[in-house]
Amino acid sequence: MILNPRDQIQARNSYWEAVSDDGSKKEKGEELLLKCIEKNPFVGEPHVLLSQFYLSRRRFEEAEREAEKGLSVLLECGSSHGAE
């Protein structure tokens, strides 16, 4: 699957807004990370960060799911580069 450049830019912007938050948009973090994941599902870091967000809110099942997904995506990326 080829990622649309517009989706990639939107994903990057959503991720950057989520990680650059000074605390004033704390509750918007979930929305931003979900948007990032929707636009670019091939990056693991947003899942890991979303897992931390859920963990801090004691949403343990969601945190576990996102951590597993994030690590899976990160490992897939590492594996594909190692095969070249």
Res. 82: pLDDT tops 50: no
Q: Is residue 51 part of a domain?
A: yes
Which two three-digit tokens encode residue 67?
Answer: 């951590």
Q: Is residue 45 part of a domain?
A: yes
CA distances from 57 to 13, 24, 28, 60, 83 (A): 24, 17, 13, 8, 38
pLDDT score of 24: 66
Residue range of the domain that includes 56: 32-84
Q: Is residue 36 part of a domain?
A: yes
pLDDT tens string 6-58:
999 999 999 999 988 776 667 789 999 999 999 999 999 999 999 999 999 99
pLDDT score of 77: 76
Q: Is residue 57 part of a domain?
A: yes
Q: Is residue 83 part of a domain?
A: yes
